[in-house]
Structure 1
Amino acid sequence: MTETPPRVDIREVGPRDGLQIERPIPTEAKLELIDALAATGVGRIEVTSFVSPRAVPALADAEGVAAHLSRWPHVTFSALVAGLGGVKRALSAGVSRLEYVVSASDGHSRANVGRSSEESIALIASVAELVHQAGGHLEVIIAIAFDCPFDGPTPPDRVAEIARRAVLSGADALSVADTIGTGTPVRTTDVLTRVRAAAPDIDLGLHLHNTRGQGLANAWAAYTLGIRQFDASVGGLGGCPFAPGASGNIATEELVYMFEDGGITTGIDIDRELAAARLAERLLHKSLPSGLLQAGGLPVPAGAACN
């Protein structure tokens, strides 16, 4: 018998995190991008946010997007929420797999959702109750897990404590987010080790931004610790409108390239992912930061002439 190759589960967050800071594009354009992403083989897509349209106008059409998700029954769709109002909107729109964001710092929490970090933590139980009553799944994302642009470095034990309390309050899964892309492999290892110790029996993922070029290195460090769920964005799109200096997420195609070359299965067709990235460039009328995309795709075949 042959041994089953190791596998990671990549969630595509381009339609949400990738588009939230961009100029609004038509709903039909978003659906065209989602269609291209669904064709890559990705199993999960974070498709929108049910948040204030005034705060994030690029995602004001969340209900409009959600109305078409039955086109892709092979994909598990989820959405971000920041409070009970967003949860109710999402559930009414038929989206019951939700991510509730909790900032580890007060500065970012107040800028992002208008309340303190402790107030956001206190809401987890109510959010979980609503989601579970609808038969849904709740993931708590711990934002600003490394540094805050307002409050400075985030104590790793603070992240671990939020994880522990989130699980006690009903979270079904957790994700650690390097919101402004300041993490390094050493710090990633430290934070994830503490979170795993605080919440040993729950699904744990990692959401990375590539602001300082450490995203893929951090993903690999996390993989060596046993993390198997990663967020990434087509073409490296992304950024937080309420975190000064935050740039794009790690690029999905670059993450796939790294893992597949290491014998780790992703289930994502990299050529189709690159095609989706090129489509995103056309829809947004801009170049995207993915190095693999800018290089023109995969390396030249062996034996090709060059100097």
Structure 2
Amino acid sequence: MNDNAIKIVEMAARDGLQSERQPVPLETKVNLIERLADCGLQFIESGSFVRADRVPQMANSSDVYSQLKRKPGVIYSALTPNLRGFNQAIDADADEVAIFASASEGFSQKNLNCDIDTSLRRFEEVTQAALEAGVPVRGYVSCILGCPYDGEIPTKQVIDVTQKLFAMGCHEVALGDTIGTGTAGRTKALLKTLSNEMPLANIAMHLHDTYGQAVANIYASLEAGVRTFDGSVGGIGGCPYAKGATGNVATEDLVYLLDREGFVHGTDLLKLCETGQWISQQLGRQTASKVGLALLSKREP
């Protein structure tokens, strides 16, 4: 990969919508994903196959996949917590599946109803089935820089879970600052320690913007050598099991930084801003993207 080439994984349709309290119409979800693909995004997490009583907003993910007009070259992935979810994702023809572990025991119990070791055993079943089916698996590690239940998380725990996800067959692992408490210095220190244990080529960063630090943390990650980032258009979303956690960094803000720093990403910033404004309006709020607000305000009325 070109050292200036950046992979963006779009989270809005899954991480962005999963915490919405009011039902989001199926048509809106499908329209959002198709708009994101039209922006040039090639990796879109489009739903999750989880228990409907735990994450009601994702209950119709099968319908989302069946109604999508898929764009050639775009990977439409799905979050799958267990073998049952994996089978549902395969039935829906998801191109890639993702599993989500935690570096925090407290968060693992709240999010997955089990300890870390038990969750990893479950995920090993999923990755084995996926590898046999020829389906790529992406891993997530949550709470890398702090947990709402356990507080500070030792870097050793982050490294341990990350290594285990790679060992079981994940081609990429996204490190998540789930509650957004990370800062640039702490992010850089974590990645420096991590790089002593493994290359960063297959590491992604999934940074929430709760305290307004996500863009700074992205820049620190870029300096450390990370080249894959998650974003959520309009800055929508959050985690239903982390009180107060706001959305992933707005994809528009990520792309603006990449543009200004000379990185290549293949997405249309203005279309992203329009899409972020559109989905925010559908959800009854203003876009959380500062770049979106700034650029769209310059257009003639």
Contact 1:96 1:135 in 2 (8 A): no
Partners of 2:215 and 2:98 lie apart in 1 by 23
**Aligned-residue offset at 1:113:** 1.3
Runs of 4+ in 1 over 3 A off after TM superposition: 296-300
Contact 2:175 2:204 in 1 (8 A): yes
Partners of 1:156 and 1:20 lie apart in 2 by 28
Instruction: Tell me the residue number matched to 1:99.
Output: 98
Change (3 A) 1:121 1:5: closer
Q: Find out whether 1:87 has 2:94 as its counterpart.
A: no
TM-score by length of 2: 0.94
Partners of 1:131 and 1:284 lie apart in 2 by 34
Contact 1:156 1:190 in 2 (8 A): no
Instruction: Tell me the residue number matched to 1:38.
Output: 37
Q: Which amino acid aligns with 1:153?
A: E
Partners of 2:146 and 2:31 lie apart in 1 by 35
Contact 1:128 1:170 in 2 (8 A): yes
User: Which of these two proteins has the greater Rg computed from alpha carbons?
Assistant: 1
Instruction: Tell me the residue number matched to 1:15.
Output: 13
Q: For each residue in 1:113-153, what CA deviation from the matched residue of structure 2 results, as whole angstroms up to 9, or x when unmatched?
A: 11111211222321111111111011110011111101111
**Aligned-residue offset at 1:71:** 2.6
After the TM superposition, which of the residue ranges 255-264 and 72-81 deviates more from structure 2?
72-81
Change (3 A) 1:70 1:29: closer
Instruction: Tell me the residue number matched to 1:6.
Output: 4
TM-score by length of 1: 0.92
Instruction: Tell me the residue number matched to 1:194.
Output: 193
What are the ranges of 5 or more consecutive residues in structure 1 without an aligned counterpart? 301-307
After the TM superposition, which of the residue ranges 151-160 and 76-85 deviates more from structure 2?
76-85
Q: Find out whether 1:237 has 2:217 as its counterpart.
A: no
Q: For each residue in 1:48-93, what CA deviation from the matched residue of structure 2 results, as whole angstroms up to 9, or x when unmatched?
A: 1111111111111110011134532231111112222211211121
Q: CA RMSD in A?
A: 1.8
Q: For each residue in 1:214-251, what CA deviation from the matched residue of structure 2 results, as whole angstroms up to 9, or x when unmatched?
A: 10000011011111000000010110001112111100
Q: Which amino acid aligns with 2:8?
A: I
Q: For each residue in 1:257-293, what CA deviation from the matched residue of structure 2 results, as whole angstroms up to 9, or x when unmatched?
A: 1110111111110110011012102221211211122
Q: Which amino acid aligns with 2:38?
A: A
Partners of 2:215 and 2:279 lie apart in 1 by 21
Change (3 A) 1:171 1:234: same
After the TM superposition, which of the residue ranges 41-50 and 68-77 deviates more from structure 2?
68-77
Contact 1:125 1:169 in 2 (8 A): yes
Q: Find out whether 1:129 has 2:128 as its counterpart.
A: yes
Partners of 1:98 and 1:175 lie apart in 2 by 13
Partners of 1:5 and 1:38 lie apart in 2 by 24
**Aligned-residue offset at 1:203:** 1.1
Contact 2:200 2:226 in 1 (8 A): no
Contact 2:81 2:123 in 1 (8 A): no
Instruction: Tell me the residue number matched to 2:289.
Output: 290
Give the length in aligned residue pairs.
298
The 5 Å alignment of 1:217-232 reads: 217-232=216-231
Instruction: Tell me the residue number matched to 1:214.
Output: 213
**Aligned-residue offset at 1:168:** 1.8
Instruction: Tell me the residue number matched to 2:138.
Output: 139
Change (3 A) 1:96 1:268: closer
Q: Find out whether 1:203 has 2:202 as its counterpart.
A: yes
Change (3 A) 1:125 1:290: same
- Between the aligned residues of both structures, percent identity stands at 35
Contact 1:96 1:131 in 2 (8 A): no
Partners of 1:19 and 1:284 lie apart in 2 by 9
**Aligned-residue offset at 1:167:** 1.8
Contact 1:50 1:79 in 2 (8 A): yes
**Aligned-residue offset at 1:96:** 4.1
**Aligned-residue offset at 1:196:** 3.0
Contact 2:201 2:227 in 1 (8 A): no
**Aligned-residue offset at 1:299:** 6.6
After the TM superposition, which of the residue ranges 39-48 and 279-288 deviates more from structure 2?
279-288
